Amino acid sequence: MSETFKLSPLDIREFSLSNGLRIILNPDNAIPVVSIAVYYNVGSRNERADRTGFAHLFEHMMFQGSENVPKAGHFQYIMKAGGTMNGTTSSERTNYYETLPADQLPLGLWLESDRMRSLAVTQENLDNQREAVKEEKRLRYDNQPYGQIFDLINEMIYKNFANSHSTIGSMDHLDAATVEDVQEFFRIYYAPNNAVLVLSGAFDPETARELVETYFGDIPSQPLPPDLDVTEPTEVAANYREWEDKLAPFPAFLIGWKIPPRRSAEFNALYLAGKILYDGDSSRLYQKLVKGDESVIQLFGFTDERRGPSSIFVGAIPKPEKDLSKIRETIMQEIHDLASHGPTAEEMEKIENQLINDSVRMRQSSMSRAQQIAEFALYDGDPKLVNTELETLLSIKAEQIRHAVGTFLNTDNRALLDVVPAGKG
């Protein structure tokens, strides 16, 4: 079936401004809606060892107003237009996006350009956003059961500091930051030549181009950010750690493996192996552990895709009184089986259908199209990969999955984090 299935390609048009801002237009007039995605090429991996948490701090600073947009004005303008918006930070990038009725494209571009040009990096904003980040850390990490385990396991998987430290960062570093540090970070990383702007949805490409030039054209470019080294040895930094979690009601564990970069053939094969192992009610581990043994309350797994060395995780919260080591044995047995025999024909059929389905559904919304295009543009320098990625994934053979699982997962070169409840009960 993969041979017969063809999706018509998305209309992708690229151009750049003289200040280095890269723009990708994906006109699609089906519904009068437009999405704008601005991806800045800065994530936690760009942070200095004594200034962690800066990339994420900016996700907050960017809503504090700029020359012509008051504090919290961004949100108000978008909402009154009937739109939606947000921003997120990862190791790889910081993104900002909005979906608007098509006729409000100028509003979205005006808002994004004003903060790219003239973000209000003031002492007052820094002080209150620093506090906001601390509050977020307490809520989402420190005071959440299991809230810190992903940060901890990244420190166990990666040896290179650029890869291993958390996105939320160190509160001491944020406290030590001066307003000049923050202005400097903004100047370097929030420059037009360090960003990608994607428009997807209902617009006239000529009009859009003119608007982009009007609003972004005279934002000055900046010298390129410093070089970055994200290389890693293949060995993980630590194999085992026990973590006492005061808030966790139940024991849990998380296994993480270091794997090749996103979009490498091995990474793609492991991404598909993950679908077979932990995705959906008919996946192997769900059937073994949640249904068959009825030994776990919650099972989860995912891949963390990065431009450099990446990772894949499997974790579980077992039912009370269940033997954790037995559950881990079952997981490793399934991995061993997949490494020995490879996926079944039925499994290959299922993941094929799921891949096609995911790919088609991604195209339905202007926002998900804009985000995918922005990633390919920023990470790979080629937004048109959005049109060939499905084919790339469908071309992966069962044997490649078997081999990749054997090489990267069926091994002791992995990190195991054991979560031990340490509260008073």
Which residues between 327 and 346 bind other proteins (CB under 8 A)? 346
> What's phi and psi for 313, nearest 5 deg?
-130, 145
Which residues between 257 and 296 bind other proteins (CB under 8 A)? 280-282, 291
Which residues between 204 and 243 bind other proteins (CB under 8 A)? 207, 214-215, 217-218
Contacts of 400 (CB under 8 A, 6+ apart): 265, 269
To the nearest whole angstrom, how small is the minimum distance from the Cβ of residue 128 to other proteins?
A: 6
Q: What angle do CA 143, 144, 150 make, to 5 degrees?
A: 115
Stretch that binds other proteins, among 56-64, 252-260, 305-313, 324-332 (CB under 8 A): 56-64
Q: Toward other proteins, which CB reaches closer, 143 or 239?
A: 143
Q: Which residue has the tokens 């192992």?
A: 277
To the nearest whole angstrom, how small is the minimum distance from the Cβ of residue 106 to other proteins?
A: 4
The burial class, CB within 10 Å (0-12 / 13-18 / 19+), for 200 is buried
The burial class, CB within 10 Å (0-12 / 13-18 / 19+), for 222 is middle
User: Is residue 52 a contact residue for other proteins (CB under 8 A)?
Assistant: no
Q: Toward other proteins, which CB reaches closer, 8 or 325?
A: 8
Among residues 110, 141, 250, 302, the one that binds other proteins under rule CB under 8 A: 110
User: Is residue 166 a contact residue for other proteins (CB under 8 A)?
Assistant: no
Q: How far is CA 21 from CA 15, 58, 147, 196, 308, in A?
A: 9, 19, 37, 6, 24
Q: Toward other proteins, which CB reaches closer, 202 or 237?
A: 202
Among residues 11, 50, 131, 210, the one that binds other proteins under rule CB under 8 A: 131
What's the half-sphere exposure (Cβ side, CA atoms, 13 Å) at 65?
12
User: Is residue 58 a contact residue for other proteins (CB under 8 A)?
Assistant: no
User: Is residue 50 a contact residue for other proteins (CB under 8 A)?
Assistant: no
User: Is residue 124 a contact residue for other proteins (CB under 8 A)?
Assistant: no
Helix, coil or strand: residue 255:
strand
Stretch that binds other proteins, among 172-180, 360-368, 397-405, 407-415 (CB under 8 A): 360-368
